[in-house]
């Protein structure tokens, strides 16, 4: 299986990445590639342009304030797994991250990539839902905050009363 032909871009700043996203048609963003690469190889998606975020240092890392923990989008799942901050402040994530793929997947996978894949039943999506996480969506106009329940498709399905067969 081989991915379709695309033009590869590796911006060095968030501003450069956002400019590319606005300028280039039919583009996909790659973080860790754990979801996108299989989709490319199976030819389930055909982007003309691939924008690689791995050189953008400002998108990685974990920080805290008095009442919140911020995990930047390119933070590797493995870093989350071993973070003392996460263990102390978000124990559900510290335990749940161990159920995300296997060690090799967590070495490459990012929290942003996982959430942007928008699988509402994936481990990191469910943990974000359980904590009412707020996402910072970047554009050239600035950063807009949105709740995880609004971001994920069908994350809050209607109440199921019964199933008859």
Q: CATH for 7-52? A: 3.30.43.10
List of long-range contacts for 67-72, beta carbons under 8 Å, 24+ apart? 71/111, 72/112
pLDDT of residue 1: 78
Tell me if 86 sits within 8 A of 94, measured CB to CB: yes
Q: What is the pLDDT of residues 45-56, one digit of tens each?
A: 999 999 999 999
For residue range 76-91, what is the model confidence (pLDDT) as tens digits? Answer: 999 999 999 999 999 9
Q: Domain limits of the chain? A: 7-52, 60-151
Domain 60-151 belongs to what architecture?
Answer: 2-Layer Sandwich (3.30)
Full DSSP string of 29-62: EESS-TTHHHHHHTTS---SEEEE-TT-GGG--E
Predicted pLDDT of residue 19: 97
Q: What is the pTM of this model?
A: 0.88
């Amino acid at each position: 299986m081989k991915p379709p032909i695309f033009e590869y871009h590796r911006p060095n700043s968030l501003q450069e990445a956002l400019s590319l996203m606005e300028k280039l048609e039919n583009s996909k963003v790659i973080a860790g590639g754990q979801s996108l690469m299989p989709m490319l190889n199976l030819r389930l998606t055909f982007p003309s342009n691939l924008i690689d975020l791995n050189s953008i240092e400002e998108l990685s890392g974990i920080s805290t304030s008095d009442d919140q923990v911020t995990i930047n989008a390119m933070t590797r799942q493995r870093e989350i797994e071993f973070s003392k901050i996460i263990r102390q402040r978000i124990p559900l994530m510290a335990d749940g991250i161990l159920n995300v793929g296997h060690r090799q997947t967590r070495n490459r996978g990012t929290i942003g990539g996982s959430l942007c894949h928008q699988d509402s039943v994936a481990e990191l999506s469910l943990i974000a839902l359980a904590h009412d996480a707020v996402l910072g969506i970047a554009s050239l106009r600035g950063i807009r905050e949105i709740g995880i329940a609004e971001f994920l498709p069908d994350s809050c399905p209607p109440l199921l009363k019964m199933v008859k067969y």
